[in-house]
Amino acid sequence: MNKSTQHWKLSTHISEYDEAIVEAAELLKQQQVVAFPTETVYGLGGDATSATAVQRIFDAKGRPADNPLIVHVADQSHVEELVTEIPPIARKLIEQFWPGPLTLILPSNGTAAENVTAGLSTIAIRMPDHPVALSILKAAGKPLAAPSANRSGRPSPTEAVHVAQDLDGRIAGIVDGGPTGVGVESTVLDCTARIPIILRPGGVTKEDLQPLIPEVIVDPALAAQGSKPKSPGMKYAHYAPEAPLWLVDGDVSFFQDQINQLQAVDKRVGVMASHELADALDHSRTLRCGSRNNLAEVAGNLYGALRQFKKADVDVILCEAFPDHGVGAAVMNRLSKAAVQKVIQ
Ligand code: TXA
Ligand code: MG
């Protein structure tokens, strides 16, 4: 474990020759782990070809060993080095969506360290669309394994300060490149099946994929209680705020009733809602996460809002259920996992 974590703050113009980038890359070459921003959430990077570096990622996060990591590349040629083949549909997806929030599951050729893939025969790969992530990848000259840079089970970090809350003292460095944009993680797409399957909804939506893959489906196990998802990570409890979260699916008066009933038994209620619902409710402890008509804005604010509710202030969080289309599918997937109880009208 690292006693002290080095912090760098970057301004807007970034290149692989910036001092912070060079220093971060140097630590990565020494098999240390460093957090940096991507366009989705902050990642905790380590050399994907080094079992030592990868083990440090699992240790820092407290991540179960059977949950494989996503490997990040800055160059398409690095993909060829990690897989046995790139199916034609994967090539088309790469051309259209990279760099961007789409992770492809491909057949591994065993070049990555064994603990990256948690013993699976497949490997998850993506090219992030963020100048800091790309500069670090280029400067390190290696593919980097990078899960979200949170302690396992906590909401993913969308700002450097979230990373520090969870991992200060446990990792070699944090590169602060400002808040991330998309706010939810990449879409994980299994390209080893004849028809690709969405294993985790994310920044690239089903609707975005449909023109290329009209038959694309979301892994049915994600919606079904008790069945085993194809993506190991999706079986774990996740994204939990400090207080229990209930997902409320109903109109304004139903939502207000839930608040009133809890307050009647002396519960301190936090509410997480769209501007539209927040305006209609009579409740002071409400955090807004954007407009119901702008789900990208809701996604961008989601994890930051979950982190803001503190045990000391609220006993329970009531959260609005959002529409399930577009990036709303990723928002609802994360909220369902964060929720301990679902209240349906
Ligand atoms: O946006 C993102 O994807 C962020 C940024 C940092 O790039 N990373 C991220 O990594 O979300 P992580 O480790 O938090 O989530 C990786 C997900 C897990 O659900 C894991 O089970 C799944 O990808 N995964 C990794 N390798 C897989 C494989 N070979 N087959 C199926 N699922 C896999
Ligand atoms: Mg994660």
Q: Which fold has domain 6-222?
A: DHBP synthase (3.90.870)
pLDDT given at position 135: 96
Domain with CATH 3.40.50.11030 in the chain: 245-344
Q: Is ligand 1 within 6 A of the CB of residue 20?
A: no
Note the pLDDT of residue 233.
81
Burial class (CB in 10 A: 0-12, 13-18, 19+), 318: buried
Helices (H), the chain: 19-29, 51-61, 76-82, 88-97, 131-140, 160-167, 206-209, 252-264, 275-280, 295-308, 328-338
Q: Check if 191 has its Cβ closer than 6 Å to any atom of ligand 1.
A: no
Q: Give the Cα separation of 194 and 8 in Å (integer).
A: 44
The reply to whether the predicted model has a pTM over 0.85 is: yes
* Positions of CATH 3.90.870.10 in the chain: 6-222
Q: What is the structure's pLDDT at 67?
A: 96
Structure confidence at residue 2 (pLDDT) = 59
Instruction: Please confirm whether the linkage preceding 128 is cis (ω < 30° from 0).
Output: no
For residue 158, give every residue at least 6 positions away whose Cβ sits within 8 Å of its Cβ, in sequence order, or none.
Answer: 41, 42, 179, 180, 183, 300, 303, 304
Q: Report the residue among 103, 117, 186 best suited for mutation to probe ligand 1: largest number of ligand atoms under 8 A from its CB.
A: 103
Phi and psi of 173, rounded to 5°?
Answer: -165, 160
Please, are residues 140 and 29 in contact by the beta-carbon 8 Å criterion?
yes
Residue of minimum CA distance from atom 32 in ligand 1: 231
- Pocket lining: 68 vs ligand 1, CB cutoff 6 Å: yes
Give SS3 for 239: coil
Q: Per the CATH hierarchy, to which homologous superfamily does domain 245-344 belong?
A: Threonylcarbamoyl-AMP synthase, C-terminal domain (3.40.50.11030)
Is the minimum distance from the CB of 232 to ligand 1 under 6 angstroms?
yes
Q: Yes or no: say if 126 and 39 are a contact pair by the CB < 8 Å rule.
A: no
**Does 70 contact ligand 1 (Cβ within 6 A)?**
yes
Write the DSSP string, 159-225: SHHHHHHHHTTTSSEEEE----SS-S-PEEEE-SSSS-EEEE--SS-HHHHTTT-TT-EE-GGGTST
Beta bridge partners of 163: none
Map tokens 């959260």 to a residue. Answer: 319
Task: For a ligand 1 pocket test, name from 36, 69, 116 the mutation site with the most ligand atoms within 8 angstroms of its C-beta.
Answer: 69
38 lines ligand 1 (CB under 6 A): yes
Residues (pLDDT < 70) of the chain are: 1-3, 12-13, 345
Instruction: Please tell me the distance from the alpha carbon of residue 274 to that of residue 277, in angstroms, as a whole number.
Output: 5
Question: Residue for token digits 């390190």?
Answer: 140
Question: Do residues 175 and 38 lie in contact, with contact meaning Cβ atoms separated by under 8 Å?
Answer: no
> In angstroms, rounded to a whole number, what is the distance separating the alpha carbons of residues 161 and 136?
19
Neighbours of 19 (CB within 10 A): 9
Residue 345 pLDDT: 66
Which residue's CA is minimally distant from atom 6 of ligand 1? Answer: 43
Task: Give pLDDT tens digits for 222-244.
Answer: 887 777 888 888 877 778 889 99
